[in-house]
């Protein structure tokens, strides 16, 4: 038997791995997830905002960041729109797909929150060229900097929320979702530190080591670290989703790899001893 295992076609191993991951994604079991302090800080900061507060959502990522960042965005909107909280969101970004990412998030939750109205409860300014200069100008006049139109071509002057929210300095909280540069460094330099506005961030896993010094220095008040952080946030909000399923798939795939390693080593030792005895 062990000789057969040592010579097994590796395609069967790949097929088994695909099957395990697929089953976990299709039917997640909800393995225990304990939220980290950084993720709990994000949740607590959102909870501490007075009803009706305005949150600036910086969509600083493209389609490649959807698996890790979109679950966090959806959870933040859910938490902000739960009964009695009624936060308002203004979305924009320095990345070209900023408007598309915001549109995907709010379209996903459209049926879940049928009473929320565009222009009143949320606005999608989308991408505007200019990079970090854009952040500086948004602090002077958002509508002029955005050239007067939102992602959908609407006149920003006609949107009730934008009549109240005219400068980035008026944001009660900055929440950014990043996969790279421009990102947190530009916000810290030009917006949050100069104006003493709290900053929270959701970032992809590979960026976490670079971001942690900002967290430790207190420049980032809360961090949702990759898919694991997004799953933790889903648990805190009480709405498990794709990140929770992704962590199940990751955990089961890791367990399967460990099983392969154990069986491989046992087979190697037994077949080696058998060869030496003969």
User: Which among 231, 227, 249 is positioned nearest to 240, based on CA atoms?
Assistant: 231
pTM over 0.85? The answer is: no
Which pLDDT does position 105 carry in this prediction? 97
Which pLDDT does position 156 carry in this prediction? 97
Which pLDDT does position 164 carry in this prediction? 96
Which pLDDT does position 278 carry in this prediction? 57
Domains of the chain (ranges; CATH) run 37-244 (3.40.50)
Report d(CA 100, CA 58) in Å as an integer.
Answer: 12
- Average pLDDT of adjacent 10-residue blocks, the chain of 278 residues: 65 75 67 83 96 97 94 97 92 97 97 96 96 93 96 97 97 97 95 96 95 96 93 88 65 70 73 62
Other C-beta atoms lying within 10 Å of the C-beta of residue 21: 17
């Amino acid at each position: 038997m062990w000789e057969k295992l040592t010579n097994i076609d590796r395609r069967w191993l790949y097929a088994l791995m695909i099957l395990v991951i697929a089953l976990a994604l299709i039917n997640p079991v909800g393995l225990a997830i304990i939220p980290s302090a950084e993720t709990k800080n994000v949740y607590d900061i959102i909870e501490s905002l007075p009803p009706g507060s305005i949150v600036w959502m910086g969509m600083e990522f493209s389609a490649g960041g959807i698996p890790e960042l979109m679950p966090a965005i959806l959870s933040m909107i859910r938490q902000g729109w739960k009964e009695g909280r009624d936060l308002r969101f203004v979305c924009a970004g320095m990345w070209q797909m900023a408007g598309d990412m915001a549109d995907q998030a709010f379209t996903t939750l459209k049926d879940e929150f049928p009473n929320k109205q565009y222009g009143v409860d949320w606005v999608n300014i989308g991408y505007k060229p200019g990079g970090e200069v854009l952040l500086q100008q948004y602090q002077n006049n958002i509508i002029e900097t955005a050239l007067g139109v939102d992602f959908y071509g609407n006149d920003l002057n006609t949107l009730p929320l934008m009549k109240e929210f005219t400068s980035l300095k008026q944001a009660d909280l900055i929440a950014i979702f990043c996969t790279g540069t421009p990102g947190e460094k530009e916000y810290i330099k030009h917006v949050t530190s100069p104006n003493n506005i709290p900053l929270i961030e959701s970032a992809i896993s590979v960026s976490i080591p670079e971001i942690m010094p900002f967290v430790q220095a207190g420049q980032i008040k809360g961090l949702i670290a990759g898919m694991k952080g997004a799953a933790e946030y889903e648990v805190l909000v009480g709405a498990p989703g794709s990140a929770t399923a992704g962590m199940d798939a990751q955990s089961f795939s890791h367990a399967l790899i460990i099983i392969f390693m154990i069986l491989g080593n046992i087979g190697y030792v037994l077949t080696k001893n058998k060869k030496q005895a003969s």
